[in-house]
């Protein structure tokens, strides 16, 4: 038995091989489901007639000539248009210059030198949870920066990667500040609520109280798991170069403050242009939308389409100014060299992203995730559960469906027309229905490689790996399991407590009708 265990410990399946196996499994399942003509359906709300219309879900068979044609003709284009890839490459240009010039090293030293390590972890977790306001770019920006934060703090950078990814993914349903996804979810919730109670409206402030509590609680949970579970498991990180104790000179400190001041000025100009109603302001909004949140995050708004580049320019300014003032950058040639600093070791990462993008696009094309979610929605509709058992059923259904259909909007478009009316008939408010949905998906969102940004987490874990066994797809998932369990326990406590005591969800909003 000991020999078997030793062999098993030495064998870690490479992530690329894992994605290839998942692709083959997906192709096989699509063929079997298509052979037996397995279908599903879900209802959508016709807002004009305020009635339900059925939508059929059929499986796209990849185990066929048509399916093979799709794979061969779309794999390259799917990789080229894979959002995490383009966002990562652009953002790393800015992160590279901040890292190479020493800006991040100095910044992290100044910010953390008088803080205990667990306090730094808590602040990181708290910021990552709040970062949901910026959407998916938080994965691209915070994961590499978190790795450097821990590395410069003489801790294992993998711990920073795990902490940031866990906080962002487990905090997906915790949004104190409403974003574009929340706006879309609110629309589906309101449309579903109008089926039973016409004219029902949901305000953006409906979730404020519960979200503040959840943000603080999850930050403590993530900090505790990182410090007591993850860091001891990872062990010590051996830096490539043993560095002496950090010392920041007056010149470096002055350069840091000047670069931060210029960066703040840049941000103020940007922020001014997303505030409507002021002289020459609001230039970055989409005025074809009615709600401000939709004007800000609408598909045609500059803020939505250009936010990644805005962040990259900010990083470029911070790193460039600091580098010039500290003489780390002396000419235009060095500026160009520093831009590529973070891209120097990205070759293997790009290969990994290629196979991940292929798997995600193939699974999405088959409609397997939507089919599973529609079946689970049917279970909710045919059961006679009420009250707390019904709430727990919705929670479990959402958690399971998230594994194959991580998109909040797609998932809620299928579930909302069932979940909201069923819960309302049980005396539970539409707002609380959405809270239960968001809580359920938070528990498994970080566990599924179907989630597009999981590959960013996986790539950086591999980039900073020093274990001779290597980094595997499922070994990286294991690190997130404790966070998912902690998130599960937190949300169950909140949901049950809020339901039994009827604590307000937000300003003037109760979990009960």
pLDDT in tens, 57-81: 999 999 989 999 999 999 999 898 8
CA quadruple 352, 345, 462, 146: dihedral sign:
negative
pLDDT at position 310? 87
Quick check: 143 pLDDT over 50?
yes
Question: Backbone phi, then psi, for 468, in 5-degree steps?
Answer: -65, -25
3-class DSSP state of 309: helix
pLDDT at position 2? 46
- Report the alpha-carbon angle 431-419-503, nearest 5: 30
Task: Give the model's confidence band at 243: pLDDT under 50 very low, under 70 low, under 90 confident, else very high.
Answer: low
8 A C-beta contact, residue 458 and residue 471: yes
Three-state SS sequence of 372-430: HHHHHHHHHHHCCCCHHHHHHHHHHHHHHHHHHCCCHHHHHHHHHHHHHHHHHHCCECH
Domain layout of the chain by residue ranges: 64-501
Name the pTM for this structure: 0.92
Q: Which of 8-12, 281-285, 498-502 has the lowest mean pLDDT?
A: 8-12
Q: Which residues lie below 8 Å from residue 154, measured CB to CB, with a gap of 6+?
A: 239
DSSP E strand boundaries for 36-192: 39-46, 51-58
pLDDT at position 298? 66
Quick check: 6 pLDDT over 80?
no
pLDDT in tens, 201-231: 888 788 899 999 999 999 999 999 999 999 9
Q: Which residues lie below 8 Å from residue 56, measured CB to CB, with a gap of 6+?
A: 39, 40, 41
Count of CB atoms situated within 10 Å of the CB of 117:
17
58 closest CA partner among 75, 74, 42, 78: 42
Characterize the bridge pairing of strands 39-46 and 51-58.
antiparallel
Q: Which of 30-39, 323-332, 373-382 has the lowest mean pLDDT?
A: 323-332
3-class DSSP state of 335: helix
Q: How far is 157 from 151, CA to CA, in rounded Å?
A: 5
């Amino acid at each position: 038995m000991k020999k078997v265990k030793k062999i098993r410990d030495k064998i870690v399946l490479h992530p690329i091989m894992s994605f290839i196996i998942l692709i083959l499994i997906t192709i096989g399942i699509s063929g079997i489901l298509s052979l037996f003509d397995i279908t599903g359906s879900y209802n959508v709300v016709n807002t004009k007639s305020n009635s339900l219309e059925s939508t059929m879900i059929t499986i796209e068979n990849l185990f066929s000539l048509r399916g093979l044609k799709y794979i061969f003709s779309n794999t390259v284009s799917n990789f080229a248009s894979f959002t995490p890839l383009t966002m990562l490459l652009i953002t790393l240009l800015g992160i590279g210059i901040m890292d190479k010039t020493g800006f991040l090293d100095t910044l992290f030293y100044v910010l953390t030198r008088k803080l205990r390590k667990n306090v730094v972890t808590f602040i990181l977790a708290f910021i990552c949870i709040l970062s949901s306001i910026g959407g998916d770019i938080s994965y691209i920006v915070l994961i590499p920066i978190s790795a450097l934060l821990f590395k410069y703090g003489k801790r294992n950078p993998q711990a920073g990667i795990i902490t940031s990814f866990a906080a962002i993914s487990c905090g997906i349903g915790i949004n104190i500040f409403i974003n574009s996804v929340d706006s879309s979810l609110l629309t589906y919730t309101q449309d579903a609520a109008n089926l039973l109670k016409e004219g029902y409206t949901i305000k953006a402030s409906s979730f404020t109280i519960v979200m503040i509590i959840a943000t603080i609680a999850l930050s403590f949970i993530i900090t505790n798991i990182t410090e007591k579970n993850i860091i001891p498991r990872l062990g010590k990180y051996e830096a490539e170069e043993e560095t002496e104790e950090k010392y920041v000179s007056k010149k470096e400190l002055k350069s840091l403050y000047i670069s931060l001041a210029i960066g703040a000025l840049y941000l103020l100009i940007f922020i001014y242009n997303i505030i409507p109603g002021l002289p020459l302001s609001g230039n970055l909004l989409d005025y074809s939308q009615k709600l401000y949140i939709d004007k800000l995050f609408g598909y045609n708004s500059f803020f939505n389409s250009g936010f990644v580049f805005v962040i990259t320019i900010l990083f470029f300014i911070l790193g460039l100014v600091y580098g010039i003032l500290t003489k780390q950058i002396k000419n235009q040639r060095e500026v160009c060299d520093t831009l590529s600093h973070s891209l120097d070791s990205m070759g293997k990462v790009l290969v990994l992203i290629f196979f991940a993008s292929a798997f995600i696009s193939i699974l999405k094309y088959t409609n397997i995730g939507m089919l599973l979610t529609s079946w689970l929605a049917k279970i909710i509709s045919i059961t006679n559960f009420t009250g707390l058992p019904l709430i727990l059923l919705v929670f479990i259904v959402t958690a399971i469906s998230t594994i194959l259909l991580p998109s909040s909007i797609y998932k809620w478009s299928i579930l909302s027309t069932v979940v909201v009316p069923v819960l309302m008939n049980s005396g539970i408010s539409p707002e609380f229905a959405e809270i239960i949905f968001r809580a359920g998906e938070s528990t498994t969102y970080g566990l599924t490689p179907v989630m597009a940004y999981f590959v960013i987490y996986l790539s950086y874990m591999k980039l900073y790996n020093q274990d001779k066994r290597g980094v595997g797809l499922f070994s990286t998932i294991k690190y997130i399991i404790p966070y998912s369990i902690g998130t599960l326990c937190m949300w169950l406590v909140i949901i049950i407590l809020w339901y039994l005591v009827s604590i307000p969800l937000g300003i003037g909003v109760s979990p009960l009708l």
